[in-house]
Structure 1
Amino acid sequence: MRVRVDGKQCQGHGVCYMTAPDVFAPREEDGHAYVLHEEVGPELEAAARDGAEACPERAITVE
């Protein structure tokens, strides 16, 4: 599974990385989210989807 965060849409609310800290993390400079590993293994698929669904800006794509 591939996971991406659209840096232009992300507003840094932090809901994704609070929901799925094994998948997402905040960038130090602005608090906007990034994906720890672009390719997410089966053990983290549910967490990646939960983090994406929690994003109020819908800035996360899960494929």
Structure 2
Amino acid sequence: MHIEVDQEKCCGAGQCALIAPDVFDQRDSDGVVLLLDPEPDESARAVVTEAASVCPAAAIAVTG
């Protein structure tokens, strides 16, 4: 699994960081998503997929 984030699209809602804190975080200055692990273990697929699906800006892409 590979994850990409579009920081330009991110609105800073923070749902990704709440759902998958080992994979996503937020910048302190503006809340924009930070990708901590672009290729997490397969065991994280469910939470990563959920985080991507609830992102209001569709700023998270999951492939593979």
Q: Is TM (by shorter chain) over 0.5?
A: yes
Instruction: Indicate yes or no: 2:12 matched with 1:12.
Output: yes
| Same amino acid, percent of matched pairs | 38
Give the C-alpha shift of residue 19 in structure 1: 1.5
C-alpha distance in structure 2 between counterparts of 1:37 and 1:18, whole Å: 15
Q: 2:31 — aligned with what?
A: 31
Consecutive unaligned residues of structure 1, counting only runs of 5 or more, are none
Q: 1:48 — aligned with what?
A: 48
TM-score (norm 1): 0.89
TM-score (norm 2): 0.88
- Kept in 1, the 8 Å contact 2:19–2:51? The answer is yes
Q: Which one-letter code corresponds to 1:55 in the other structure?
A: C
Q: CA RMSD in A?
A: 1.0
- Kept in 1, the 8 Å contact 2:23–2:35? The answer is yes
C-alpha distance in structure 2 between counterparts of 1:19 and 1:54, whole Å: 10
Aligned pairs, how many?
Answer: 63
C-alpha distance in structure 2 between counterparts of 1:28 and 1:3, whole Å: 21
